[in-house]
């Protein structure tokens, strides 16, 4: 079943290649959407795809790349909208 997840990752997640890490994981899982840095130091992800794959991406967010220190991952689930064609890193 396809779903949408809005994921907020807090901690030391900017400047440690977290966006590249998450993009690679999302593409491997065939998810679509985007990831961006938030001015408050968090990273925001909006991803769509199969629910099991979204859950796998969320698990990977708790790990992060080697320089990251994850403090919290929050998820808001929503309905699949099909508005994306790929997974992008927003600047």
d(CA 34, CA 15) in angstroms, rounded, equals: 17
Cβ pair 6, 58 in contact under 8 A: no
d(CA 87, CA 30) in angstroms, rounded, equals: 9
Structure tokens at 64: 């992060």
* Active-site pick, 19, 36, 40, 79: 19
d(CA 28, CA 22) in angstroms, rounded, equals: 10
Known catalytic membership, residue 37:
yes
* Active-site pick, 36, 37, 79, 85: 37
User: Using the 8-state DSSP alphabet, how is residue 53 labeled?
Assistant: H
Q: Which residues are catalytic?
A: 19, 37
């Amino acid at each position: 079943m396809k779903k949408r997840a809005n994921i907020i990752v807090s901690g030391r997640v900017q400047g440690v290649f977290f966006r590249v890490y998450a993009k690679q994981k999302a593409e491997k899982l065939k998810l679509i959407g985007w990831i961006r840095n938030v001015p408050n130091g968090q990273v925001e992800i909006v991803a769509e795809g199969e629910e099991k794959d979204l859950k796998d991406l969320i698990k990977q967010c708790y790990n992060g790349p080697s320089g990251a220190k994850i403090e919290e991952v929050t998820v808001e689930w929503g309905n699949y909208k099909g508005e994306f064609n790929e997974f992008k890193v927003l600047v």
